[in-house]
């Protein structure tokens, strides 16, 4: 672990759980399957999380009716966005950045289970 890494210890715990899911299931499932498996892994590892957390959005101080739904928020401070696709694109990073802006949180982990190697992108705002 790098001591200067934002939420480094918590990130390592989350990433270890993601590797366990990827190593166990492999590729080829839809995102919802990985999300359910990761929920089980978080519970087993006692990683605090909220699944499909509603993230409110405001415009010029006014709360909008529309909201984001993050796959997970762990430790009350890390947004987890899951994908099950061939490869990540800049639009996916932009999605996590929007979540961070909306919530004023600082760290998001973009996790892709759809590739032969688990893809992890740290997104810091």
**Alpha-carbon gap, residue 65 to 121, rounded angstroms:** 29
56, 67 Cβ separation under 8 angstroms: yes
**Nearest Cα to Cα of residue 79 among 29, 125, 22:** 125
In the chain, domain spans: 8-124
**Overall average pLDDT of the 13-21 stretch:** 98
For 73-117, how does the pLDDT look when each residue is reduced to its tens digit (9 = 90+)? 999 999 999 999 999 999 999 999 989 988 889 999 999 999 999
Task: Give pLDDT, residue 6.
Answer: 85
**Alpha-carbon gap, residue 76 to 22, rounded angstroms:** 24
In terms of residues, how long is the chain? 125
**Nearest Cα to Cα of residue 39 among 14, 3, 67, 4:** 14
Phi and psi (nearest 5°) for 27? -105, 165
Residue range 8-124 in CATH 3.90.320.10: yes
**Nearest Cα to Cα of residue 15 among 69, 107, 80, 64:** 80
């Amino acid at each position: 672990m790098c001591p200067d890494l934002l939420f480094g210890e918590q990130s390592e715990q989350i990433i270890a759980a993601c590797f366990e899911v990827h190593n166990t299931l492999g590729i080829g499932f839809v995102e919802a399957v990985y999300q359910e498996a990761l929920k089980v892994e978080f519970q087993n590892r006692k990683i605090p999380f909220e699944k499909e957390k509603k993230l409110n959005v405001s415009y010029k101080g006014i709360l909008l009716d529309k909201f984001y739904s993050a796959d997970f928020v762990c430790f009350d401070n890390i947004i987890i966005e899951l994908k099950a696709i061939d490869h990540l694109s800049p639009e996916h990073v932009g999605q996590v950045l929007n979540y961070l802006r909306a919530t004023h949180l600082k760290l998001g982990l973009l996790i892709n289970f759809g590739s032969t190697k688990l893809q992890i992108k740290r997104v810091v705002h």
